[in-house]
Amino acid sequence: MIKLLLSFLLIFTFNSYSQEEIRVSDIKVEGLQRIDPGLIFGNIPFEIDDEISSIDFSKTISLLFKTGQFKDVAVERQGSTIIISVSERPIIYEINYYGTEIFQPENLNEGLAGMNVGTGLVFDKADLVKAEQEIARQYLSRGKYTARVVSEVVPLERNRVNINFYVEEGRVSRIQSIDIVGNRVYKKDDLFEQLTLKTTNFLSWYNKDDRYSKVELSGDLENLKTFYMDRGYLDFKINSTTVSISKNKKNIYIEINIDEGDKYTIGSIKVSGKIPEELESSDKESLSLKDLKDQVLVKEGDIFNRKLINQSSAAMTSKLGDYGFAFANINLIPKIDKVKNIVDFNFLLDPGKKIYVRRINIIGNDKTKDKVIRRELRQLESSWFSEANIQRSRERLSRTQFFDAIDIETPSVPGVSDQIDLNVKIAERNTGSISVGAGLSSSEGIVGTLSVAQANFFGTGNNVSTTISTGDVNSVYSLTFTDPYFTDDGITRGISGYKKTVDTKGQVGQAEYQTDSLGGGLTFIVPITEHDVIVVGTQLDLTELTLSGNAPSAYKNYCTSTGSSTTTCDTSSWLFFTGLEKDTRDDVTFPTTGTKYVINLESTAPVLDVKYYKFAISSEKFFPIGDNLTTRIKGDIGYIDAYGDDVLPFYKRFRVGGQKTIRGFKDGSVGKKVYDTNYKDYITNGGKSTLQLSAETFFPVPGMKRSESIRMSAFFDAGGVFEDSPKISEMRYSVGVAGLWLSPFGPLNISLGLPLNDDEHDKTETFQFGMGTNF
């Protein structure tokens, strides 16, 4: 009976308790150091006054762990109060690297940030292990198989840590052998030439080409594929690549297994698709499928060449781009006949919409004025997009030499399908310079130079410069001001003044004399097309000529003809000149294609001492004959003479010989030799006419990776000066090799020239060089 009463009492008590459910009266958070409590309250699935019985404590813990900010979370109840205890993960304060030489710390930091290891990020031991492994993998890809990477975590106050990476890079594993298996048509030596990776050789210390790199090997495999695909082998494939390492991890062995496949020829070529109606019907902008087919660089029966096929597709896209179709696409559809080994191609045209350029934005010009940049642009706002105009705009901006980088982007206008903006992003160059330097020349000895120049004066695009140059032969003091846009039409105006002394001292292949000159000039350059300009100008030159007592008779006779003494005479002149110039070269320093020719006509006014006229033509053409080979053909002709009863000054005559004309002969020494009894030696007095020819092939330095600052050449020079018309018997010829290095101290030119038909009176100079800027 007593037990029954107790049971009823317990049931009554439980029901009374259930009728008054306990609710959350407070939420306390313990263990926070740097994290705002709002992060906790924003992620827990309950709040004050919620029924405690409805709270899922496991879910609460899971949600807080998902924030990634805590390494431990606990939730407990004390009456109606919920207590959340957390232990925060530390924050990475600093990352340090010790022993790294191959990789820069900033590059490592950038890579590790993508793996959640970086300054300001939450530290996680698992992420650190992955980062350590990734750094080791990067060393393996560079051929450092003995590299070791160890990380250290250093606790700091306020729940922060420093991470230190200690690296032992070890030695680079060298490539001991490379073998190519499966080649039938081409010799292994021909295939090895396509690889940048080499076995250890006597230039490996410089080129570092015997150091294995996974990235380099991938590039070499693509080079092999390109080699075969450009020679007809459409089915070429690489079956396998095996890279093994010796036990001591010092030597690498590479084996490449290939399948050459069969050689294919080009079958039919078809260009299909629809030309937009506005191009078919326009008289000014007509374009047909035939015009596009003319861009194809291969024809039926040719050996298959992937490079030419891709270039053909690119040329079609570019052609459509010139007519405003910025997003044109050429879909290349091949049809392969594996029985006859013939591949047909269908270039399927998808022009898309014709695109307008809505706005041109100039970005990055902190100093250069907007108009200086915009005047060089050939793509205009509110006009059709033209790929040719954009490319030409980039070239013109580059030629100003005001900018280190030029990037032109064409983002679409949001919400409009036929408009783009042109974003011209530039990185300005420091165009102001003060330089003090010295150079060496085989013809002038030591040349000292002081130059102060500002190529982009106050951001206006104008050029102001002053130069002092002193050498054994030439001393020049000059001041120039050039405004490339004197008018809005692009007419250039140049103003110059100079003081110049020339003292040959018998050092430059001609007899001794000295001139002291003071003068100034005014020049205008008028553009008539994108590549053609007309040059007009005038120059006033006040010169005094001084001769030594043993000067040649011809020199003294000239002074006598001016009514002066035999040792000193005034030879001042007022010169007027004009010319036509055309320049289509793709680069000013190291061109690979294009033409430059200059036609000059000048004459002095009959008001001062010197009266003469001069006509000269110079032309050079560059054309590539291979991937790294460029040939230049150059020719110069000229004629000069006095007018009236005057005598032509001997120092105005044409003179050839030296690095700029005929290498292997001393400067100005080529020409008919006569014995002068007063000078007691054979001399040349130059000539009234000249003919110069040159053929030169430029190539990279053998054994050296391609460089943008150095190249070599093999040359053939020919030329001479003549009293009247050219005479073959008086011309001189030479062959040799030359090199140009754009060094930090100025351009260094060297040449080894071998004269082919010099006689006993010619002054030859096999080795010639020049360093620094000569005037």
**Residues contacting residue 366 through CB under 8 Å, at least 6 positions apart:** 428
As a whole number of angstroms, the distance between CA 531 and CA 596 comes to 10
Q: What angle do CA 473, 479, 483 make, to 5 degrees?
A: 135
Q: pTM here? A: 0.61
Burial of 85 (0-12, 13-18, 19+ CB in 10 A): middle
Q: What is the mean pLDDT of residues 671-691?
A: 83
Q: Which tens digit of pLDDT belongs to each residue from 208-260? A: 788 888 888 999 999 999 999 999 999 999 999 999 988 888 888 999 999 99
Burial of 576 (0-12, 13-18, 19+ CB in 10 A): middle
Quote the mean pLDDT of the chain: 84
Burial of 486 (0-12, 13-18, 19+ CB in 10 A): middle
Could you give the 3-state DSSP secondary structure of residue 551? Answer: coil
Name residue 274's amino acid.
K
Helix pair angle (105-113, 125-141), 10° resolution: 130
As a whole number of angstroms, the distance between CA 765 and CA 763 comes to 7
As a whole number of angstroms, the distance between CA 371 and CA 124 comes to 53
Question: Does residue 695 have a pLDDT over 90?
Answer: yes
DSSP one-letter code for 756: S
**Residues contacting residue 729 through CB under 8 Å, at least 6 positions apart:** none
Is-contact 475 450, C-beta < 8 A? no
As a whole number of angstroms, the distance between CA 161 and CA 150 comes to 16
pLDDT given at position 201:
81
Lowest-pLDDT choice from 58-72, 234-248, 276-290: 276-290
**Residues contacting residue 722 through CB under 8 Å, at least 6 positions apart:** 672, 687, 688, 689, 690, 691, 730
**Residues contacting residue 765 through CB under 8 Å, at least 6 positions apart:** 442, 664, 665, 666, 753
Q: Which of 439-453, 663-677, 687-701 has the highest mean pLDDT?
A: 687-701
Question: Does residue 541 have a pLDDT over 90?
Answer: yes
Question: Does residue 83 have a pLDDT over 80?
Answer: yes
Question: Does residue 312 have a pLDDT over 90?
Answer: yes
Is-contact 352 328, C-beta < 8 A? yes
pLDDT given at position 152:
92
Question: Does residue 151 have a pLDDT over 80?
Answer: yes
pLDDT confidence tier of residue 339, bands split at 50, 70 and 90: very high
Q: What is the mean pLDDT of residues 543-561?
A: 81
How many C-beta atoms surround the C-beta of residue 191 within 10 A? 19
Per DSSP, helices labelled H in 387-525 are 387-400
pLDDT confidence tier of residue 307, bands split at 50, 70 and 90: very high
**Residues contacting residue 698 through CB under 8 Å, at least 6 positions apart:** 590, 629, 630, 631, 632, 711, 712, 713
pLDDT cut 90: percent of the chain above it: 35
Q: What is the mean pLDDT of residues 752-760?
A: 89
pLDDT given at position 667:
82
pLDDT given at position 472:
65
Lowest-pLDDT choice from 80-89, 204-213, 541-550, 639-648: 204-213
The first and second tokens of residue 88, run together, are 């925060």
**Residues contacting residue 137 through CB under 8 Å, at least 6 positions apart:** none
Question: Does residue 593 have a pLDDT over 60?
Answer: yes
Question: Does residue 747 have a pLDDT over 60?
Answer: yes
Burial of 125 (0-12, 13-18, 19+ CB in 10 A): exposed
Distance from the Cα of residue 98 to its chain's centroid: 33
**Residues contacting residue 393 through CB under 8 Å, at least 6 positions apart:** 376, 377, 378, 379, 408, 424
The first and second tokens of residue 526, run together, are 């008028």
Q: What is the mean pLDDT of residues 394-422?
A: 88
Q: What is the mean pLDDT of residues 631-640?
A: 95
Phi, psi of 41 (to 5 degrees): -65, -25
Residue, of 566 and 308, whose pLDDT is higher: 308
How many C-beta atoms surround the C-beta of residue 374 within 10 A? 14
Question: Does residue 12 have a pLDDT over 60?
Answer: no
Per DSSP, helices labelled H in 70-144 are 105-113, 125-141
As a whole number of angstroms, the distance between CA 538 and CA 727 comes to 33
As a whole number of angstroms, the distance between CA 712 and CA 696 comes to 10
Phi, psi of 554 (to 5 degrees): -60, -35
Burial of 239 (0-12, 13-18, 19+ CB in 10 A): exposed
Helix pair angle (214-229, 125-141), 10° resolution: 50
Question: Does residue 18 have a pLDDT over 60?
Answer: no
As a whole number of angstroms, the distance between CA 699 and CA 696 comes to 10
pLDDT given at position 507:
52
DSSP one-letter code for 173: P
Question: Does residue 681 have a pLDDT over 50?
Answer: yes
pLDDT given at position 32:
82
Per DSSP, helices labelled H in 77-213 are 105-113, 125-141, 188-192, 204-207
pLDDT cut 70: percent of the chain above it: 89
As a whole number of angstroms, the distance between CA 28 and CA 294 comes to 80
Q: What is the mean pLDDT of residues 431-460?
A: 59
Q: For the chain, give the longest Cα–Cα distance.
A: 159
Question: Does residue 482 have a pLDDT over 80?
Answer: yes
Q: Which tens digit of pLDDT belongs to each residue from 446-473? A: 445 566 667 788 888 888 888 777 766 7
Question: Does residue 8 have a pLDDT over 80?
Answer: no
As a whole number of angstroms, the distance between CA 648 and CA 668 comes to 17
pLDDT given at position 141:
77
Q: Which of 134-138, 548-552, 658-662, 693-697 has the highest mean pLDDT?
A: 693-697
Strand partners, 753: 736
Q: What is the mean pLDDT of residues 181-186?
A: 92
Sign, Cα dihedral of 206, 207, 211, 213: positive
pLDDT given at position 21:
73
Residue, of 201 and 622, whose pLDDT is higher: 622
Phi, psi of 553 (to 5 degrees): -60, -40
Of 513, 771, 768, 514, nearest to 666 by C-alpha is 768
Name residue 621's amino acid.
K
pLDDT given at position 16:
42
Of 656, 683, 658, 659, nearest to 670 by C-alpha is 656
Is-contact 367 428, C-beta < 8 A? yes
As a whole number of angstroms, the distance between CA 389 and CA 383 comes to 11
pLDDT given at position 202:
77
Lowest-pLDDT choice from 166-175, 329-338, 710-719: 166-175
Length of the chain (residues): 775
pLDDT given at position 284:
47
As a whole number of angstroms, the distance between CA 499 and CA 447 comes to 16
Name residue 7's amino acid.
S
pLDDT confidence tier of residue 680, bands split at 50, 70 and 90: confident
Residue, of 288 and 133, whose pLDDT is higher: 133
Burial of 664 (0-12, 13-18, 19+ CB in 10 A): buried
pLDDT confidence tier of residue 442, bands split at 50, 70 and 90: very low
Q: What is the mean pLDDT of residues 68-75?
A: 84
How many C-beta atoms surround the C-beta of residue 345 within 10 A? 22
DSSP one-letter code for 381: T
pLDDT given at position 745:
58
DSSP one-letter code for 123: P
The first and second tokens of residue 33, run together, are 């150091």
pLDDT given at position 445:
47
**Residues contacting residue 745 through CB under 8 Å, at least 6 positions apart:** 437, 439, 771, 772
**Residues contacting residue 3 through CB under 8 Å, at least 6 positions apart:** none
pLDDT given at position 441:
44
Is-contact 209 198, C-beta < 8 A? yes
How many C-beta atoms surround the C-beta of residue 363 within 10 A? 10
CA atoms within 13 A on the CB side of 31: 16
As a whole number of angstroms, the distance between CA 774 and CA 446 comes to 10
